[in-house]
């Protein structure tokens, strides 16, 4: 129990209670512990009548008044126990900018995230003085270890400065007509990418509303992720439509795979399946497309999308690593989530055919048989690279080589 009794004084001059005095009295009382004393200097005769009544209404104790040497009244109020309590975790140091920059990472140092967040604090920003007795909010993601990896602020800072403009930052004017077969392949690839990125836009948005605002940086990072996905969908579809042949095929394999992703209820499982496995696999896919891009604009938009995706993978890995460190049972849960998803995709054999063919032709650069053979080899090599990198990433997340092997092999043939 804190017994420290502070004394504060305010000078109300001739202000009546209802004429501004409370704007001095109320904030001064808010700085005191219950039982702390506020002295109110006043020259108003009406305040003599009203201050005690106001104290009664607000459950502060009015201790009386005495006349000072200059003829003012000196009223004494003891702060009541029903007001907003002082914050026991009040920030000790102020925020400082470095070389003109002020990052979210610096904010995190001053206002660290609590290990548990009370749903009663609602949308109160972390560090605010919360009045007790408020309603409970439906924030179910309220444990730091399950929501907020330490890296989130740095990743948010990077994401904010890495935003780009889908309208003007791609050298759209350098897009030239391609041979029809190559154009069709490119359209198919872009259609596939946009469809998958749409799922990556929708899935994290399902969890943002469940994240306790004490971990707002996570919601803010996910907001950048959503903005990234929106931009990717935009550029992929623009590139496809520049060919003037409409869009490609959306296959049932892709549709089933993405629905099984969208239906995941657990945030960490979603981060694992979407960001670590799905977007992780997409990094290799995007590298492949950039390498075989038919023009500078396509290469540029793919390169930019890949940069963004690698941030998402980084966040997903950090999220899963932190979760695994806090809860060893998570390994089993994640493996079982992968198995469950694989079971719903049972019977799907291999990459959706329209995509496989498009990637082969894109890598071939033409429809000549010899080139196509090379394209086919490149595609097979891509699958192997994806698998090896998934195993490596799973190792980074904390899985054993054997677990990593199994999980990678169970991953959806749709890549996402």
What is the Rg, in whole angstroms, of the alpha carbon atoms belonging to the chain?
A: 30
Minimal distance, residue 137 CB to other proteins, in Å:
11
User: What is d(CA 299, CA 142) in angstroms, rounded to the nearest whole number?
Assistant: 41
Which CB sits closer to other proteins, 46 or 406?
Answer: 46
Residues 173-202 touching other proteins, rule: CB under 8 A, are none
Which CB sits closer to other proteins, 121 or 196?
Answer: 121
Applying CB under 8 A, among 53, 129, 163, 368 the residue interacting with other proteins is 53
**Strands 7-11 and 37-42, bridge-based pairing:** parallel
Applying CB under 8 A, among 2, 6, 27, 56 the residue interacting with other proteins is 56
DSSP conformation class of 111: S
Minimal distance, residue 114 CB to other proteins, in Å:
20
Residues 121-150 touching other proteins, rule: CB under 8 A, are 132-136
Binding mask 268-287 for other proteins (x = CB under 8 A): --------------------
Which CB sits closer to other proteins, 53 or 115?
Answer: 53
Applying CB under 8 A, among 35, 37, 43, 50 the residue interacting with other proteins is 50
User: What is d(CA 164, CA 381) in angstroms, rounded to the nearest whole number?
Assistant: 31
Applying CB under 8 A, among 8, 105, 111, 120 the residue interacting with other proteins is 120
Judged on CB neighbours under 10 Å (0-12, 13-18, 19+), 204 is buried
C-alpha dist (Å) from residue 392 to 21, 162, 221, 398, 408 = 66, 26, 25, 10, 10
Which CB sits closer to other proteins, 85 or 398?
Answer: 85
Strand partners, 9: 39
DSSP conformation class of 6: -
Which CB sits closer to other proteins, 22 or 190?
Answer: 22
Applying CB under 8 A, among 36, 42, 54, 337 the residue interacting with other proteins is 54
337, two tokens:
């989530």
C-alpha dist (Å) from residue 322 to 147, 149, 150, 272 = 9, 6, 8, 12
Binding site for other proteins (CB under 8 A): 16-19, 22, 46, 49-50, 52-54, 56-57, 59, 82, 120, 132-136
């Amino acid at each position: 129990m804190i017994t420290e009794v502070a004394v504060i004084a305010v000078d109300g001059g001739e202000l009546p209670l209802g004429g501004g005095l409370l704007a001095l009295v109320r904030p001064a009382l808010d700085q005191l512990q219950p039982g702390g004393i506020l002295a109110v200097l006043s020259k108003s005769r009406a305040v003599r009548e009203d201050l005690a009544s106001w104290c009664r209404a607000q459950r502060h104790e009015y201790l009386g008044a005495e006349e000072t040497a200059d003829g003012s009244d000196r009223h004494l109020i003891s702060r009541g126990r029903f007001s907003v309590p002082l914050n026991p975790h009040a920030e000790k140091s102020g925020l400082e900018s470095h070389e003109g920059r002020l990052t979210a990472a610096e904010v995190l140092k001053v206002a660290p995230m609590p290990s548990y967040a009370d749903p009663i604090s609602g949308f109160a920003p972390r560090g605010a003085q919360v009045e007790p007795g408020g309603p409970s909010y439906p924030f179910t993601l309220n444990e730091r270890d399950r929501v907020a990896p330490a890296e989130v602020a740095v990743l948010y800072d990077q994401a904010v400065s890495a935003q780009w403009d889908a309208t003007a930052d791609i050298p759209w004017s350098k897009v030239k007509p391609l041979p029809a077969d190559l154009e069709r392949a490119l359209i198919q690839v872009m259609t596939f990418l946009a469809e998958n990125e749409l799922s990556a836009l929708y899935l994290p948005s399902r969890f943002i509303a469940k994240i306790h605002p004490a971990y707002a940086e996570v919601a803010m990072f996910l907001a950048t992720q959503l903005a990234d996905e929106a931009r990717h969908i935009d550029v992929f579809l623009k590139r496809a439509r520049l060919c003037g042949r409409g869009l490609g095929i959306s296959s049932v394999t892709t549709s089933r795979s993405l629905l099984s992703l969208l239906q995941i209820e657990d945030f960490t499982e979603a981060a694992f399946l979407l960001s670590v496995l799905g977007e992780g696999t997409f990094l290799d896919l995007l590298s492949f497309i950039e390498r075989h891009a038919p023009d500078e604009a396509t290469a540029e938009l793919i390169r930019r999308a890949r940069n963004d995706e690698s941030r998402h993978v980084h966040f997903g890995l950090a999220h899963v690593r932190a979760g695994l460190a806090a809860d060893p049972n998570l390994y089993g849960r994640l493996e079982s989530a992968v198995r469950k998803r694989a079971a719903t995709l049972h019977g799907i054999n291999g990459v959706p055919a329209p995509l496989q063919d498009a990637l082969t032709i894109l890598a071939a650069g033409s429809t000549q048989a010899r080139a196509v053979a090379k394209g086919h080899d490149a595609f097979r090599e891509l699958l192997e690279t994806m698998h090896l990198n998934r195993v490596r990433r799973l190792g980074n997340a904390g899985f054993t080589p054997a677990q990593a092997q199994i999980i990678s092999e169970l991953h959806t043939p749709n890549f996402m």
